[in-house]
Structure 1
Amino acid sequence: MTLSTSHRQPLADEITAKLREMIHSGEWPLHQRIPAEPELMAGLGVSRGTLREAIKALAHGGMLEVRRGDGTYVRATSEMSGAARRMYQDHTEEHILEVRLGLDTTAARLAARNATADDVTSLRAALAARDVAWNAEDYEGWARADWEFHERVAQASANPLLHELYVSFGGVFHQELLKQQRRGRLDGLTYEGHGELVEAIEARDADAAVASVNRNLNSCAEWLRA
């Protein structure tokens, strides 16, 4: 007698995938509380045990945060982003900057090879938004626009995995920028690694693009040591 083997995904895994998609799609916004257990159980047609197993898996992955007596909140939009947030708490600013150096130089070199005219236009738009926000003392907007610029450089690299890494680390580096700004003496409109980088990308000069990134991040390192 041959027993049939079911390849059906375990129910808890299916529910985990559904909840993950709700977060990733923005249906459940970042930092907001998700619906209460009874509502989710009814909507998904599952038991409390299955739901809690799915929530526990996403909490372990860093996407959800369970707050006793308050509810469950969206902490990150992907497991990679959640892991980045956890790692950020355990490492120094110097370590973070060293990671930036590796990521930014790779993104700059690839963007100089692969960027389109639309990419260059998008980069200039992000820098314009950054400048407006800084001059208006809108530092949240400044940090958001500054990191959006770097995400767009990664997108222009034509390496989707690299771009995904930038998106995942976005929350970490956004908070790091704000921390630096609050210390004072920070030049929020640096030309190196930004305007200079765009010019190198537009000229398809990979060496100049990497050199621009190095100047910018070395300057940041000196500022941190001061």
Structure 2
Amino acid sequence: MALTDEAIAKIRSMIQSGQLPPGTRLPPEPQLAAEMGLSRSGVREAVKVLESARVLDVRRGDGTYVTSLAPRLLLEGVGVAVELLQDDTLLEVMEVRRLLEPVATGLAAVRMPESDLDTLAKILDDMRAASDDAELLIQYDTAFHRTVIAATGNETLASLLEGLSSRTVRARVWRGLIEGNAAHITLAEHEAIYRALRSRDQLLAQASAMVHVNTSEAWLRTVLSNTATTAGTQGP
């Protein structure tokens, strides 16, 4: 592992220094190992790790290339990690989302093109029609927020929030809302966000998004609390 870590560090350093810019093909494994003064096995394992992290792209029969290093690639693992988090840590994720999403929504209010606003209006119609269907609501909810955040034009922010707003979190919130007969509340909050965006009111959009994230967080707490209570009642 020490040799692998050293190889990873050296490849990363070559990328950071510009010696291996995005899209560049790496030297063949024997040459790369010789240049770094490491074993071929260490380099091979390092390449596997960096491929998993979307830093490198191994093309069979062609060679190994540095990826575009775009945020959507490098931050892809955030969503995978969030899917695996346990209950208490999920609430921490919601807290981080609460810090980022309202500001991003406010930014979208002054950057979002009219075509995206029309898209949001259509998504809202779909959400109303699916108010008692958790699976459809998850899809439309994801599409709504993805459209809003993408309008910021900040790919790093969009990638982070995409990972934080995982399907698992959304599913738990929406199922809790439907079972608690409160789906209409968060639907109204989506409508408030849309109206603020349509009016290009940055502060109102930010405030509306804050209210919405707070509602989602509160309902997730309720769902997790009920789950814990049920588990405790059933016993070992």
Same fold (TM over 0.5): yes
SS for the counterpart of 2:130 is: helix
In percent, how many aligned pairs have the same letter?
23
The partner residue of 1:180 within 173, 178, 193 is: 173
SS for the counterpart of 1:209 is: helix
Change (3 A) 1:149 1:51: farther
- Scaled by the length of structure 1, what TM-score is found? 0.61
Counterpart check, 1:102 vs 2:106 = no
Aligned-pair CA distance for 1:51 = 8.0
Aligned ranges 1:212-223 → 2 under 5 Å: 212-223=208-219
Counterpart check, 1:57 vs 2:50 = yes
Aligned to 2:203: 207
Equivalent residue pairs, number = 169
- Scaled by the length of structure 2, what TM-score is found? 0.58
Name the amino acid aligned to 2:111: N
C-alpha contact 1:62 1:86 (8 A) present in aligned 2: no
Counterpart check, 1:115 vs 2:112 = yes
Unpaired stretches in structure 1, ≥5 consecutive residues: 1-5, 13-48, 64-76
Aligned-pair CA distance for 1:192 = 4.6
The partner residue of 1:197 within 185, 188, 193 is: 193
Name the amino acid aligned to 1:219: T
C-alpha contact 1:193 1:214 (8 A) present in aligned 2: no
Counterpart check, 1:130 vs 2:127 = yes
Take 2:163 and 2:212, find their aligned partners in 1: how far apart are those partners? 22
Take 2:79 and 2:54, find their aligned partners in 1: how far apart are those partners? 9
Q: What's the C-alpha RMSD, in Å, of the aligned pairs?
A: 3.3
Aligned ranges 1:19-38 → 2 under 5 Å: none
Aligned-pair CA distance for 1:122 = 1.3
